[in-house]
Chains A and B, each alone.
Chain A
């Protein structure tokens, strides 16, 4: 009896294995039958908020290119960053993915994971199609590593109606800006709509304060890790974060508030000023409000030249994908950033890196923001700094606001993080 049971188990094992093999064979024959008209399937990962237009554009592309299938996956910001890293370390990156410039996007080309697009850029005359700054910001170690998609500029957005009601105008002096924060607070409005969960939203205020106190030259040196962060300008910057927190200029519990919740406070006009970029007209519309009812001003740094925070966004292509997939991805990437597609979706597209697009009346703030960066810009801080140092900056912002570190301690810890990072690079 025992022998029969053992024999039966063995037979089952063999049969299971055989079934597995035969199903593989079936798949192979299916692929063979469809090889008559070769169809390429490519995967694309992007963000989701503010990117609803993309699904429609991808469908248009597939209609125009029946031999290409696009498998689109869209994520929120922080999950997207992490899923890309997970995919990178498990060698499962999609064929093409969206990413930012600076240290957020440099990880992939610096580790040999992206397709070198330098020759493609020459052959396809990208210098005539895309903004030079955006191409430069998509270049790492001398190689063009991404198809430029957006060139973003950040500013301080406010509701016109609220400003009119309180008889306020866009401030050109730092002191006026602070005076307005007080006026807003005194009138029952939370002055600054920031949500610090994830750290990057408050960072946009921190970097403006740093530009104000440090000036362009020192600010750039700090971001290039060429000057000590234990500097009076950094201390003053953190002192302001603490001051604004203590005066209740931020929403209650903002250090754990999601940026999207801060955005909601802004739309409801229970918070006065939010720092967002050239994509924000699209967000406003997407949330059911009218962009014309809002306006934007440059943070008054009182520095010369007046600079804005800027960053590029791009599509990178997997260096390990099949050449056929890479070719299809280039075609898709160039299509999505073509002037025709940009113009078609301009109301939702954000700020194109593409040259020659037509400005839409539904995105009235793109041009003023782009103009504000004409005299120069500094790279947004979470792309300018190495990611470990960025994380320490986020921690410092929170700890100063929550009385765990003094501004001086925050500056010291920033310098410690920079030193630790540098020593690892040697």
Chain B
């Protein structure tokens, strides 16, 4: 009896050790560091309690903007990227010539690194030489021209458009897999009963895609909270810190200004916000199942 109980733990032990040393301990240490003022190399750390958190919420205007930008990114990702991904998946799920080609075309950007996408799109947006402004001029719409990455009201949305182009592939592929796992029988039954296409979509497709939605929503939320490289590559957080997100501001605090405590506090807040949204969602949605 005793040896039988021990066996699972023995087999889990290597993975558990790796998890604890690589993820759990650093995470706890980061939380610990968020109570100190430290530059990462000095022998002495000064304990400041909740001082770092207080400063972030009361004095650091960039932090509040970064948080707001992350929330926009989250909402935009859930609505636009997921919506477009689902739309493409529905289209590509039909029998269509060149289906494989189009799947490849839409999935390909997802494989590119954020910096590659950032470099390409930065050139598209170049105010004098970029494709976007030149195309607008060609169409006689000079008044619509903007310095897309240099106007605080527009820059974040311009970067988001690039991220959307890059990010659509993942939800598309996941939804496509989910759609292809739905049997034909319910649709045939609905057709016999006189259901219209949109009724089939809302009463059959969406409910049966529930598990896929759980995965897509969770991964999209996580990706939107930790977005960094495409923003860093396109704007560096500018102009006037208007496109900073929590990750980029955390990075600046930690490695540019050597404010380890502040950076750790931002990291902890980032995790806290992510978990606050994701854990209830996953818990709630996995309680029900139609399959």
Using a CB–CB distance below 8 Å, which chain A residues touch chain B? 6, 9, 13, 78, 81-82, 85-86, 88-89, 91, 107, 111-113, 196-199, 251-257, 261, 387-388, 391, 395, 398-399, 401-402, 404, 420, 424
Contacts and interface: CB of A to CB of B under 8 A. Distances in A.
Contacts, number: 95
Majority-rule SS of A interface residues: helix
A402 B155 CA distance: 12
B58 to A, nearest CB: 11
B40 A402 contact: no
A13 B151 CA distance: 57
21 contacts: A6-B7, A81-B256, A82-B255, A82-B256, A85-B40, A85-B258, A88-B40, A88-B41, A88-B258, A89-B255, A112-B41, A197-B235, A197-B236, A252-B150, A253-B148, A253-B151, A256-B238, A387-B258, A395-B241, A402-B239, A402-B240
B236 A198 contact: yes
Nearest to A10: B10
B274 interface: no
Nearest to A254: B150
B39 A391 contact: no
Interface string B6-18: 0100010010000
Nearest to B41: A111
Given A6-B7, A197-B235, A253 B127 contact: yes
B84 to A, nearest CB: 26
Nearest to B153: A402
Contact of A391 (B40, B41, B257): B257
Interface residues of B, number: 36
B256 A255 contact: no
Contacts of A401: 239-240
A207 B255 CA distance: 25
Nearest to B158: A256
A251 B11 CA distance: 63
Given A197-B235, A256-B239, A420 B59 contact: yes
Nearest to B256: A82
Contacts of A395: 62, 240-241
A6 B11 CA distance: 9
Contact of A85 (B37, B149, B235, B256): B256
B152 interface: yes
B238 A251 contact: no
A153 to B, nearest CB: 26
Nearest to A107: B258
Interface in B144-176: 146-152, 155
B265 interface: no
Contact of B257 (A255, A388, A402): A388
Interface in B244-263: 251-252, 254-260
